Amino acid sequence: MHDARRITGKLGSLLYGVLQLVADFFVTGVGTDIGKTVIGAALCHQLRAQGQSVRAYKPVISGFDEQTREHSDAAIYLQALGQEISDEAVSDMSPWRYAAPLAPNMAAAAQGQVLDADRVIQWCNDRRNQQGISFFEGAGGVMAPLSDDTTMLDWMKAMDVPVLCVTGDYLGAISHTLTALEILALHNVRLQAVIVNQSGQSHVPIHDTLRAIARHMPQKVPLSVTPYLDNHEKPWQSMPDLTHVLGTDL
């Protein structure tokens, strides 16, 4: 098994007196609407505050509405990166956008299209190893279909970068989390950290959830928790520091 805690960013150049790290991460989750984008955006926001150069990509989006693009996952990342929400910026962030809130292959089919997983993976690999830290977010959970023949797991295996897995605190989250982590371990995916994103609606004590996940997780990696931030328009701005889970000396 990989000891993900030993993964460190490559040293890059100095920018305004700050030593820039070069590292790539994939953001996945145990399911959809679990908080992947909020966690990814929080990391972007926090790393930028530390003077790091940061990039983020959400290549594939389902349930995208051009009329409300300012609320899309792409827009959240753009805001966290301090960039304007323009047509060009959204297209650069998320080239594969589909209206139906379905798995990407199904959403593409609903528009009479076929999603080519090889193109998505190549697009991502072309953007790796750039100056700074880059995040690539998948769609849905670990085993969600990407194309008719591939899943998010295949995408992660093809990129072979450290993975951040986001989960929740809802009833059933422990089983869902351990199942996802077991799949990642069986396929030798480099798990970097697990982040439990609280919903504010769970009756399961968070300490019990954390204890169970920590006891049974197959890869011993950092396990972090984020609070439920009610009435926050931009919750990624108010998250506690998460950069420690990256295993980089920031």
What b/e string do you get for 189-225 counting C-beta neighbours within 10 Å, with b at 16 or more? Answer: bbbbbbbbbbeeeeeeeeeebbebbeeebebebbbbb
0.75 exceeded by pTM: yes
Specify the higher pLDDT residue, 95 or 200: 95
Structure confidence by residue, pLDDT tens digits, 173-204: 999 999 999 999 999 999 999 999 998 888 88
Find the catalytic residue in 58, 157, 220, 234.
Answer: 58
Provide CB contacts within 8 A for 84, sequence distance 6+. Answer: 78
- Please state, rounded to an integer, the average pLDDT across all residues of the chain: 91
Q: What does the alpha-carbon distance between residue 214 and residue 20 come to, in Å, rounded to a whole number?
A: 32
159-177 tens-digit pLDDT = 999 999 999 999 999 999 9
Residue 10, pLDDT score: 52
pLDDT greater than 60 at residue 7? no
Res 2: pLDDT: 38
Top pLDDT among 7 and 62 is at 62
Task: Determine whether 58 is an active site residue.
Answer: yes
Strand segments, DSSP code E, in the chain are: 10-15, 18-29, 54-57, 60-61, 96-97, 133-137, 163-167, 191-197, 223-226
Report residue 248's pLDDT band, with 50, 70 and 90 as the boundaries: low
Could you tell me whether strands 191-197 and 163-167 are parallel, antiparallel, or unpaired per DSSP bridges?
parallel
**Taking a C-beta distance cutoff of 8 angstroms, is the pair 138, 28 a contact?**
yes
Residue-range domains of the chain with CATH? 4-246 (3.40.50.300)
Amino acid residing at 148: D
